[in-house]
A and B are shown apart, each in its own frame.
Chain A
Amino acid sequence: EVQLVESGGGLVKPGGSLRLSCAASGFTFSSYSMNWVRQAPGKGLEWVSSISSSSSYIYYADSVKGRFTISRDNAKNSLYLQMNSLRAEDTAVYYCARDRGSGFSFGYWGQGTLVTVSS
């Protein structure tokens, strides 16, 4: 069974940093692209970033480019999101999502971790 478990969320001040982690199990992690998708309270879904299976290809939404860094450690079956220069508008539940397999859709999701940016 595919399992994705996010951690690392919490309360941080504007301008601060936070690192999210996503522990994967139940599949061959090194074979799949991975993604971060966020959802502000009461709002819709927003794609944040994607990383290919070997980290060769990395993409970011314009809203986080230059501030967030996605990475992965295939030996540890883990996905990360380093978030710097955080803003109030980054407040959201952050979901880790696995590529379905053929790409271009998010087939499996974690339960999410809440990041709150507030002074």
Chain B
Amino acid sequence: QSALTQPASVSGSPGQSITISCTGTSSDVGSYNLVSWYQQHPGKAPKLMIYEVSKRPSGVSNRFSGSKSGNTASLTISGLQAEDEADYYCCSYAGSSTSSYVFGTGTKVTVL
């Protein structure tokens, strides 16, 4: 199972919106509405930001939103803030007959 493809880096100015793409295949992203997104600051554990494509856990800012079209999922951060600077990873369920989960390659978000 190959890693999902994400852009290596995305940047934006404070207040702007950015979108991170996550491209998989018909065996993972395209087959299940089970894409999640994680934020990871340096030296810290990942934090769940979005689950089941577009749902936000309690406590996560509504500036974070998720969507999916075909084999590509997306995470949008609106009203970019300095604290949003981090690495972001997507993850998709890929079925129980194979490696169950596949993560994305990761995207470094820089706030200019």
A contacts, CB < 8 Å to B: 35, 37, 44-47, 50, 57, 59-62, 95, 100, 102, 104-112
Q: Which residues of B79-105 are within 8 A (CB) of A?
A: 89, 91, 93, 96, 98-105
Stretch from B13-21, B40-48, B68-76 forming part of the interface with A:
B40-48
Residues of A near B57 (CB, < 8 A) are 100, 107
Please determine whether B103 and A46 come into contact, CB atoms closer than 8 angstroms. yes
CA distance A111 to B47 in the complex (A): 11
Please determine whether B91 and A45 come into contact, CB atoms closer than 8 angstroms. yes
Most B CB within 10 A of own CB, among A105, A107, A108: A105
A69 to chain B, nearest CB (A): 16
A74 to chain B, nearest CB (A): 21
Residues of B near A105 (CB, < 8 A) are 34, 36, 48, 51-52, 91
Interchain CB contact (< 8 A) of A62 among B3, B47, B93, B99:
B99
Please determine whether B38 and A45 come into contact, CB atoms closer than 8 angstroms. yes
* Interface bin, chain B: 20 to 34
The answer, yes or no, to whether B106 is at the interface (CB within 8 Å) is yes
Known: A59-B96, A62-B99, A106-B36. A47 touches B48 (CB 8 A): no
Enumerate the 7 nearest inter-chain pairs by beta-carbon distance, A residue then B residue, closest first: A105-B51, A105-B36, A47-B101, A109-B45, A44-B106, A104-B34, A45-B103
The answer, yes or no, to whether B62 is at the interface (CB within 8 Å) is no
A106 to chain B, nearest CB (A): 6
Please determine whether A47 and B91 come into contact, CB atoms closer than 8 angstroms. yes
The residue of chain B having its C-beta at the shortest distance from the C-beta of A49 within the complex is B100
The answer, yes or no, to whether B1 is at the interface (CB within 8 Å) is yes
CA distance A107 to B1 in the complex (A): 23
A35 to chain B, nearest CB (A): 8
Please determine whether A45 and B46 come into contact, CB atoms closer than 8 angstroms. yes
Residues of B near A106 (CB, < 8 A) are 36, 38, 46, 48, 91
CA distance A88 to B106 in the complex (A): 22
B95 to chain A, nearest CB (A): 10
Please determine whether B100 and A100 come into contact, CB atoms closer than 8 angstroms. no
CA distance A50 to B100 in the complex (A): 8
Please determine whether B96 and A112 come into contact, CB atoms closer than 8 angstroms. no
